[in-house]
Amino acid sequence: MDVACVQDVQWRGSGCRFFGAIGKRYKLFWMGSKAKTDGVGIFVAEKWVDSVVSVERHGERALVLKMVLGDCLLNVFTVYAPHSGKPDEEKERLWNEVFSLVSCIPQYQMVVFAGDMNGHIGSSNVGYDGTHGGFGYGSRNADGSGILEFADGLTLVICNTLFTKQEANW
């Protein structure tokens, strides 16, 4: 794995640092809060670190890392949405901010959106055929509907709904 998004980092402030043995390291770019709650980060394999051209930190719940890959610019978003017990205004504020960030990206640039969206989109793709591939599970909740509306509004695809999953043996 060359890029991994993490949430609930629980570190104060922001920064970047390497982890691991030289030649096999990953660089973590993170943004945390003063209270050591929430927080997001993106690990990038050492071989790609020189491709990172910018890191935009948008509070402890959103971070955008831009990388040049050949002649393309890749925008990697990591988002940690407020959980279902949080006030709707807090959720709406985050989704509006992230929507603004994504909608400013030119269509010729690539966007990868990862994170803990704290919602369940369910198995049905009715009304979201271009966004939801139809391979989910369970029922959609209100936060899941918001995720689908967000993705649909930006013509994004929720990739893990494009294929069946193996049943876990827990």
Instruction: Give a yes or no: residue 140 inside a domain.
Output: no
Instruction: Give a yes or no: residue 129 inside a domain.
Output: no
Instruction: Give a yes or no: residue 99 inside a domain.
Output: yes
**What's the confidence (pLDDT) of residue 168?**
65
Instruction: Give a yes or no: residue 161 inside a domain.
Output: no
Instruction: Give a yes or no: residue 44 inside a domain.
Output: yes
pLDDT digits (tens, 9 = 90+) for 89-145: 999 999 999 999 999 999 999 999 999 999 999 999 999 999 999 998 899 999 999
Residue 118 burial (CB count, 10 A): 20
170: pLDDT strictly greater than 70: no
Instruction: Give a yes or no: residue 132 inside a domain.
Output: no
Residue 150 burial (CB count, 10 A): 21
- Band (169; pLDDT cuts 50, 70, 90): low
- Whichever domain contains 21, its CATH number is 3.60.10.10
Mean per-residue pLDDT, 161-170: 76
In the numeric block, the tokens 């966007």 are attached to 111
Q: Which domain holds residue 19?
A: 3-118
74: pLDDT strictly greater than 70: yes
**What's the confidence (pLDDT) of residue 98?**
94
According to DSSP, the residues that pair with 52 across neighbouring strands are: 67
Return the exposure string of 61-99: e unless at least 16 CB atoms fall within 10 Å of the residue's CB, then b: bbbbbbbeeeeebbbbbbbbbbeeeeeeeebeebbeebe
Mean per-residue pLDDT, 5-20: 92
Report yes or no on whether pTM surpasses 0.85.
yes
The answer to whether the beta carbons of residues 81 and 119 sit under 8 Å apart is yes
- Band (66; pLDDT cuts 50, 70, 90): very high
**What's the confidence (pLDDT) of residue 151?**
93
Instruction: Give a yes or no: residue 146 inside a domain.
Output: no
Query: CA 62 to CA 70: how far, in whole Å?
Result: 26
Tally of domains within the chain: 1
Instruction: Give a yes or no: residue 125 inside a domain.
Output: no
Mean per-residue pLDDT, 32-42: 88
Q: What is the CA radius of gyration of the chain?
A: 17
